[in-house]
Structure 1
Amino acid sequence: MTTLLANPRDTLFQPVAGVMARQDWDRLYADDIEAILRLKREKNAVILAHNYQTPEIFHCVSDIRGDSLALAREACDLDADIIVMAGVHFMAETAKLLNPAKKVLIPDAHAGCSLAEGITADNVRALRAAWPGVPVVTYVNSTAAVKAETDICCTSGNAKKVVESLGVPRVIMIPDEFLARNIEAETGIEMITWPAHCEVHERFTPAEIRQYRRIHPGVVVIAHPECAPDVVAEADFSGSTAQMIDWVAQRKPEKVLLVTECSMSDNLSLLYPDTRFVRPCNLCPHMKRITLAGIRRSLETLQTEVTIPVEFQAPARRAVERMLAV
């Protein structure tokens, strides 16, 4: 009797079965997913995917998933010749800083960040001149040129720990004004800030959070610290994307509102099907520039390669490594 083999695509589709129809997956994504998996093997490549990536990228082709801190940590120990960053440009730069001998690719060179674009190295030097002797803590959502002017980097997940590790009463914390104010409230350490914001998180308002609570009684609200302080004050918990995931995993709420980029809810709904995710769908236009077709093309052509001017490499790497050491 002949044994019928299961369709290999059944296994590839299974991780996203809860958020999309099989016919749509077959039509839109399957060919690219199969090609990407083959190209990764052929070229000894790995794909790093941020938590804001869409499910077909996050669950079907990525090797390492997480927030910017997790991706920075994992980038240090990768046994691969090629790193593809399914994220935005500053993340690819950070991966390159920590892996200078590896080829780092970003599928779309225009996948930027309003925070990274909101401050320049000249701005940092001006802040130092205005506040001599005050240490500069720079959010990882920044360019290598800005990181090179920095004492230490931080992420939303470790910002409090980084700031407190300095043992000083005042810091310059850039570029995210809201993150700085939220950390100031947590630590009591005075923050010299810069007026840059995340274009996704700055759109959330306290009134919007209250409206969601009225519409969805009993909903648990978890806000990203890139939100304004008055939004964070309306939440039940505030944390980085990794901390949000941990909170949901541990508390297992019946109904939750993630006040952040909406692909987070799609990805977590697959991991925690017993939790209902209320979706306030604010999309990051930069993250959404990364597509399966773009990842495939990047592996086929080895474009676009991320490079960092030599004068920024050592000081920017030092700021990131100091963060990882905290």
Structure 2
Amino acid sequence: MDEKQAQILRLKEEKNAVIMAHYYVDDNIQEIADYVGDSYYLSEMATRVKEKTIVLCGVSFMGESAKLLNPEKRVLLPDLEADCPMAHMASVEKIEEVRATYKEDVAVVCYVNSTAELKAHSDVCVTSSNALKVVKALPNPVIYFIPDRQLGTYISRRIPEKKFIFNDGGCPIHTVITREDVQSALACHPGAKILVHPECREEVIEMADYIGSTSGIIDHATASSAREFIVVTELGVMYELKKRNPEKSFYSTAAGQICEDMKKITLDKIISVLEQDGAGLEMAADLMDKANAPLKRMLELSR
């Protein structure tokens, strides 16, 4: 443990704070976080922690989700500029247009990788790990899935009895990976199992030996008897994969699998935000009330 990590642990105790980190942030942050996980895990754990301050090491929508689920807690974001492009790839106007057309038949299903404003206009949130379960549980025959077309398409293939309407959005990190990128990695490592996140293109998903959320990929690789894997998601996940499976080998594709926004979170920024005595993340009360409901419904339908 280096000096900066030790300083964060001291500050955390002084401030009655808990450190939560997404799998995509740098290794040195995952190493000292109290909780490390994917979006669903972090959302759920945010409702359980006793500390008064949550330091959310991830992008802005994750901090918003933590605050929505814990309005009485102080939520700190180490870098306010760390954002998710996909979180902005849907519009309230289109949501209202779809509602006007399909009325009570439609449920607006909002991938948690979205702004609080989009959540506020949705019926339920989902993550990549619980989307199938949540959407199956909805009584509505029509699903408007926002903002990620790739994940929505993947889920729709497994629930053919429902009509899906898709939004034209997607994760820049996952959509840049092509079939050729995966084939190239497989040529270098023949026999390796291909682990794919459902935010990827359909042509990549079709090649997968396993498709799942970040936590699903980690769990599958850990349980598998295979020894080599091609990992088709953001490469921050490699820290946990190697930590749990030191005897196994994990490879990336040739594509850029780095989320620059996640990498904006640094030890220095965590120290800085802990040393400050600001109020933390704030949102308008009416927005919080409206955006909180679909998140709570997600947690209820996931359990």
Q: Please report the TM-score for the alignment, with normalisation by the length of structure 2.
A: 0.95
1:185 and 2:157 are equivalent in the alignment = yes
The answer to whether the 8 Å contact 2:110/2:122 transfers is yes
Letter of the aligned partner of 1:265 in structure 2?
A: M
Deviations 1:138-158 (CA, angstroms, capped at 9, x unpaired) = 000011111111111100000
| Superposed displacement of residue 242, structure 1 | 0.9
Greater C-alpha radius of gyration:
1
Give matches, 1:19-30, under 5 Å.
30=2
| Superposed displacement of residue 115, structure 1 | 1.1
Change in 2 beyond 3 A, CA 1:180/1:103: same
| Superposed displacement of residue 190, structure 1 | 2.4
| Superposed displacement of residue 132, structure 1 | 2.5
Match of 1:77 in 2: 48
Aligned length: 297
Q: SS of the counterpart of 1:208?
A: helix
Name structure 2 gaps, 5 residues minimum. Answer: none
Letter of the aligned partner of 2:248 in structure 1?
A: T
Deviations 1:262-318 (CA, angstroms, capped at 9, x unpaired) = 111133112210110102351001101111111111101145821121111112111
Letter of the aligned partner of 1:230 in structure 2?
A: E
1:110 and 2:81 are equivalent in the alignment = yes
Match of 1:65 in 2: 36
Q: Distance in 2 between matches of 1:267 and 1:54?
A: 11
Sequence identity (%): 37
Match of 1:53 in 2: 25
Name structure 1 gaps, 5 residues minimum. Answer: 1-11, 13-29
Deviates more, 1:130-139 or 1:30-39: 130-139
Change in 2 beyond 3 A, CA 1:296/1:114: same
The answer to whether the 8 Å contact 1:120/1:145 transfers is no
Match of 2:300 in 1: 325
Deviates more, 1:288-297 or 1:112-121: 112-121
Match of 1:245 in 2: 218
Letter of the aligned partner of 2:142 in structure 1?
A: R
The answer to whether the 8 Å contact 2:23/2:36 transfers is yes
Q: SS of the counterpart of 1:57?
A: helix
Q: Please report the TM-score for the alignment, with normalisation by the length of structure 1.
A: 0.88
The answer to whether the 8 Å contact 1:109/1:304 transfers is no
Match of 1:267 in 2: 240
Q: Distance in 1 between matches of 2:278 and 2:183?
A: 45
The answer to whether the 8 Å contact 2:74/2:279 transfers is no
| Superposed displacement of residue 66, structure 1 | 0.5
